[in-house]
Homo-oligomer: A and B are copies of this chain.
């Protein structure tokens, strides 16, 4: 059985494609081909004055320019809002969609629309203070909410790798006119200690898996940043999530 795949990994907010390195290395060692494009507006050197549609366009362009076909398209967190639109644009190129603790939006929703009001208030305040239409995550939120399964040194080191997020990525309403009709196989991968969305009614699981269903569901231990705290484990689960 041919069990080697092409993976295209779409990062979350505050991240860029290069931060997948520990995970993509494990996937490549296992024989897979891996692409980790950066969404427009992301990375320390990027122009941050972009909208959500710019982000979508940048990934569609990458896929077309590299003529990628028959690949597993993986999204982390914010990346879920990108891949749903990408799937509408180039559905015939995608073998399977994998949402790893990623947002599954409905037509016309933004990330803010599906986030807890206290989060939106925190982000609004941060955006107002920064004054450049970007937001940054406070370290204490990162440490306890995003990466509690790593030691403090790893939490601090990885925090330095982040860069500010164009606020429109979180607040633009995303048109998803045809996503619900697509027949691409889908998987929801859930790290069980991920509380970047808080426990209860706003939790990632089962909320976004329900929206995606019927889909494969895969669970794993770990936090929202298990890509840093256990990259080998995440690579293994991405394979389980993405295989035929």
Residues of A within 8 A of B (CB): 1, 3, 140-141, 144-145, 148-149, 151-153, 185, 187-188, 192-193, 195, 198-200, 203, 205-207, 209-210, 213-219, 221, 240, 243-244
Contacts and interface: CB of A to CB of B under 8 A. Distances in A.
B148 A218 contact: yes
B217 A210 contact: no
A194 B216 CA distance: 10
Chain A contact residues, majority secondary structure: loop
B153 A1 contact: yes
Nearest to A140: B185
Given A185-B144, A243-B151, A203 B206 contact: yes
A22 B240 CA distance: 23
A52 to B, nearest CB: 26
Given A188-B199, A198-B213, 17 more contacts: A1-B151, A1-B152, A3-B151, A141-B214, A144-B214, A148-B217, A151-B243, A152-B243, A152-B244, A193-B217, A195-B216, A195-B217, A198-B210, A198-B214, A199-B217, A200-B210, A200-B213
16 contacts: A140-B185, A144-B215, A144-B216, A148-B216, A148-B217, A148-B218, A152-B243, A152-B244, A198-B210, A198-B213, A199-B209, A199-B210, A199-B213, A200-B206, A200-B207, A200-B213
